[in-house]
C-alpha cells in the first residue's frame, strides 16, 4: 500500500502536517503540492484548528526542493504551470487566517525554503541547511523564492543566495532574518510545539487581525497600512474575546478565548 505524501495529526488545537516522502528528501512533486493545498484549505476551515505546524518526515530534510525527476521532462508551458501551482499553494499558506509554524528539521533547499518562507514563523534545528540552489540546475526560484527572500532578508542576501546557489547554515539564516529561532536538533519538536501551543492559547480573531495587517501593510504605503490597522483594531471591539481578554486582565486571571 502506497504511503500518503502528507501526514496530518491533531494535538489539541494544533494541526501537524508532515511532508512524507523521506526517500526523496520530501521533494515537492505535483501530488504533494496538491495535498498541501488541500490540507491547508481544510485547516483554515476547521474551527477546532487554531495553529498549524509544518515539517518533513525523517531526520534529514524539511523539504530538499522540488522533484527534479518530475521537472526534467516538463515543457516551457508545463514549467510555468508547475510554478503557478506551487505559488498558489504557498500563497494559501501565507494568507491563512491562522498562524503557521515551519519546523525546519533538516535541508530546506529550493522549493523547501520557499515553502518555509510562506509560513508565518520558522523555527530551525541547528543542523538545518537553507538555500536557493536552483541556479546550479540552470533554473531560478519558481515558487516565490526571489520575492519572499527579498522581503525577509533584503536585496544583498537574496542576490547572494540566489546567484551563488550556496546554502547557509541555520545560524547564518538567523542572522539574515530568514528564520526566527534556531534550537538544538534534539529540542526542535518540543520547542516548536511549545510555540504552537502558546499561539493556540491566544485569541484567534486577534491573531487573524495581526496576520491580515502585516500581509496588507507589507504591500502598501504607510498611510494605507495605518488606516487598515485602525479599522482592524476597531473590529476587535466587537468580539467576545476582546471583552474576555480585557476582563481577565482587570480580574487578574487567565483568559479563556473562544474565537468569537
Q: Which three cell numbers stand for residue 10?
A: 491533531
Q: Is the same domain home to 146 and 223? A: no
Query: Do 110 and 141 form a contact (C-beta atoms < 8 A)?
Result: yes
Instruction: Give CA angle at 173 (193, 11), nearest 5°.
Output: 10
Counting residues of the chain whose pLDDT is more than 90, the rounded percentage is: 87
The per-residue pLDDT for range 86-100, each reduced to its tens digit, is: 999 999 999 999 999
123-166: per-residue pLDDT in tens?
999 999 999 999 999 999 999 999 999 999 999 999 999 999 99
As a whole number, mean pLDDT of residues 185-200 equals: 97
H or E, element range at 107? strand 107-109
**Is 221 found in the same domain as 92?**
no
- The answer on 214 and 194 residing in a single domain is no
Contact residues for 170 (Cβ-Cβ < 8 A; gap 6+): 104, 124, 125, 126, 127, 128, 129, 130, 179, 182
Q: What is the mean pLDDT of residues 21-33?
A: 94
Residues 162 and 72 in one domain: yes
Write the pLDDT tens digit of every residue in 170-192. Answer: 999 999 999 999 999 999 999 99
Q: How confident is the model at residue 1 (pLDDT cuts 50, 70, 90)?
A: low
41 occurs within a structural domain: yes
Grade residue 83 by pLDDT with cuts at 50, 70 and 90. very high
* Residue 168 sits in the same domain as residue 94: yes
Q: Which residue has the higher pLDDT, 259 or 76?
A: 76
| Mean per-residue pLDDT of the chain | 94
**Rounded distance, CA 123 to CA 95, Å?**
19
Active site positions, annotated: 114, 134
Question: Which residue carries 526560484 as its cell?
Answer: 141
pLDDT digits (tens, 9 = 90+) for 49-61: 999 999 999 989 9
- Please check whether residues 192 and 216 belong to one and the same domain: no
pLDDT level of residue 114 (50, 70, 90 thresholds): very high
Domain of residue 124: give its range: 6-200
Q: Quick one: average pLDDT of 51-74?
A: 93
Residue 133 lies in a domain: yes
The whole-model pTM stands at 0.93
Question: For position 3, what pLDDT does the model report?
Answer: 87
pLDDT at position 44, please?
97
* Stretch 183-205: mean pLDDT: 96
Q: What pLDDT shows up at residue 224?
A: 93
Say what the pLDDT of residue 218 is: 83
Are the C-beta atoms of residues 225 and 105 closer than 8 Å to each other?
A: no
Please tell me the distance from the alpha carbon of residue 148 to that of residue 244, in angstroms, as a whole number.
Answer: 36
Clarify whether residues 119 and 225 are in a common domain: no
Least confident of 1-10, 43-52, 128-137: 1-10
Q: Kindly state whether residue 258 falls inside one of the protein's structural domains.
A: no
Same domain, 209 and 160: no
Q: What is the pLDDT of residue 197?
A: 97
Closest by CA to 257, choosing from 197, 206, 213, is 206
My answer on whether 115 and 157 are in the same domain is yes
| Arithmetic mean of pLDDT, 234-242 | 93
Amino acid at each position: 500500500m502506497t504511503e500518503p505524501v502528507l501526514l496530518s495529526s491533531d494535538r489539541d488545537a494544533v494541526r501537524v502536517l508532515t511532508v512524507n516522502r523521506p526517500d526523496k528528501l520530501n521533494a515537492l512533486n505535483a501530488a504533494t503540492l496538491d495535498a498541501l493545498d488541500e490540507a491547508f484549505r481544510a485547516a483554515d476551515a476547521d474551527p477546532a484548528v487554531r495553529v498549524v505546524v509544518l515539517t518533513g518526515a525523517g531526520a534529514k530534510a524539511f523539504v530538499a526542493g522540488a522533484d527534479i525527476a518530475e521537472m526534467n521532462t516538463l515543457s516551457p508551458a508545463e514549467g510555468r504551470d508547475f510554478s503557478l501551482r506551487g505559488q498558489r499553494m504557498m500563497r494559501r499558506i501565507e494568507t491563512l487566517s491562522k498562524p503557521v509554524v515551519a519546523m525546519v528539521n533538516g535541508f530546506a533547499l529550493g522549493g523547501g525554503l520557499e515553502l518555509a518562507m510562506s509560513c508565518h514563523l520558522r523555527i530551525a534545528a541547528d543542523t538545518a541547511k537553507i538555500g536557493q540552489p536552483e541556479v546550479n540546475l540552470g533554473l531560478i526560484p519558481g515558487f516565490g523564492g526571489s520575492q519572499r527572500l527579498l522581503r525577509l532578508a533584503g536585496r544583498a542576501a537574496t542576490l547572494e543566495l540566489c546567484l551563488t546557489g550556496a546554502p547557509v547554515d541555520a545560524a547564518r539564516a538567523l542572522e539574515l532574518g530568514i528564520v526566527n529561532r534556531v534550537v538544538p536538533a534534539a529540542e526542535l519538536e518540543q520547542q516548536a510545539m511549545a510555540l504552537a501551543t502558546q499561539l493556540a492559547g491566544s485569541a484567534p480573531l486577534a491573531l487573524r487581525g495581526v496576520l491580515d495587517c502585516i500581509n496588507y501593510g507589507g504591500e502598501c504605503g504607510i498611510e494605507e497600512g495605518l488606516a487598515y490597522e485602525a479599522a482592524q483594531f476597531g473590529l476587535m471591539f466587537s468580539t467576545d474575546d476582546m471583552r474576555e481578554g480585557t476582563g481577565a486582565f482587570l480580574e487578574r486571571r487567565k483568559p479563556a478565548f473562544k474565537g468569537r
